[in-house]
A and B are shown apart, each in its own frame.
Chain A
Amino acid sequence: MYVVIAGGGKVGANVTRSLLEMGHEVTLIEQRPDRFARLEGEFGPVVIRGDATEISVLERAGIARPPELLLAVTGDDEDNLVISQIGKEGYGVGKAIARVNDPRNQEHFDLLGITQTICATTSVLGLVEHEVPEHGMVRLLELQREGLEVVEVQIESGSPAAGSRAGGLSLPGGSRLISVFRHGRTELVEPGTVMRPGDQVLAVVTHDSAPELRRVLLGAPK
């Protein structure tokens, strides 16, 4: 696979190293002279120097081939957005993944059609949420484009769903219970599955229905 990586900071440099070890062909673009010198020392001709938001630099990196994957991982969100747009819209790059440094900019990436993004802050917050669940429901995975999230809910003894059959719960539209984890085993949820205290229930739900699903399973937030 051919991969173009824009931005040779910690993320770009480490991804380059890993992809090269996996046997992929990589071109890494870095603008800052000090960083470029260090990266060139390690990776040799894989690294080119320049502003990756300049079309001529991207062309020098082989954007017109086009690469199977373009990673825009500079420390500047606007740069990452522009790099991804040029790659996808100008050169037909099939897959572009952009780094979002400030999570408040996520909506701009979504609006401008750069749907595959990675945001360290959001990921860390997700982990924190998993450790300290707010309102008993943990978001395990967010599927932006589909508008869905995969959530985990722990049934407590006082939960309204405790003792009910799955088929008897009035779940909101756009939600479905997938599985129950109990006594170290996972069972797929059938209409006859009874919810018990201690059960960890995996569900898929639309963004809008998530609060209602929480209410049906666990009751109103305290």
Chain B
Amino acid sequence: MAKGLAADGWDVTAVDESEDALGRLGPDWRGGFVVGHGLDMTMLERAGVSDADAAVVSTDGDNTNLVIGQVLQKRYGIGTVVVRVLDPARARFYAERGLKTVCPTQTAISVLRDAVNATQLEPSEA
């Protein structure tokens, strides 16, 4: 995500609890990188949330993402906040309340369902 957005021309700062994540960005990473928890305001401000145009929240915890996303939207007024939520029900609940949620589970379900529905059915032997 960070590498993709940087390639699209965005000025990107990545935030992670572990420094190991920096390694995953590769030796050519020219963007920012800050180590810390996504609910630590000091860290977020160091990462530049105060003048960010967009934020992507995709830690491995749905509820952590939902809380960070709302804080970024409400406290810092970031226009575009996208939040990863694996649980479809919670993703829908918060989407109905104005948060942009992306649910990979729902996407996978749609793709898998389309694949199954595309099956050519053999004429049944009645």
Chain B 42-68 interface 0/1 with A at a Cβ cutoff of 8 Å (1 = within)? 000000000000000000011110110
Q: Is there a chain B Cβ closer than 8 Å to A176's Cβ?
A: no
| Interface magnitude class on chain A | 10 to 19
List A contacts of B63 (CB < 8 A). 53, 76, 78-79, 81-82
Chain B at the A interface: SS class: helix
Complex contact A78–B71 (CB within 8 A): no
| Candidates B40, B62, B74, B89; contact of A111 at CB < 8 Å | B74
Chain B: interface residue total (CB-CB under 8 A): 18
> B: which residues have CB within 8 A of A?
39-41, 61-64, 66-67, 70-71, 74-75, 87, 89-90, 93, 97
Closest chain A residue, CB of each to CB of B75: A111
Docked complex Cα distance between A81 and B64 (Å): 10
Docked complex Cα distance between A76 and B63 (Å): 10
| Candidates A54, A78, A104; contact of B67 at CB < 8 Å | A78
Chain A residues 41-93 with CB under 8 Å of chain B are 53-56, 76-79, 81-82, 86, 89-90
Complex contact A82–B66 (CB within 8 A): yes
Complex contact B74–A55 (CB within 8 A): no
Complex contact A108–B39 (CB within 8 A): yes
Closest chain B residue, CB of each to CB of A80: B63
Complex contact A111–B71 (CB within 8 A): yes
Complex contact B89–A55 (CB within 8 A): yes
Q: Is there a chain B Cβ closer than 8 Å to A121's Cβ?
A: no
Docked complex Cα distance between A89 and B66 (Å): 14
Give the Cβ gap from B62 to chain A, nearest Cβ, in Å.
7
Known A54-B89, A56-B89: A112·B67 in contact at CB below 8 Å: yes
List A contacts of B67 (CB < 8 A). 77-78, 81-82, 108, 112
Known A56-B89, A89-B97: A112·B70 in contact at CB below 8 Å: yes
Docked complex Cα distance between A111 and B73 (Å): 11
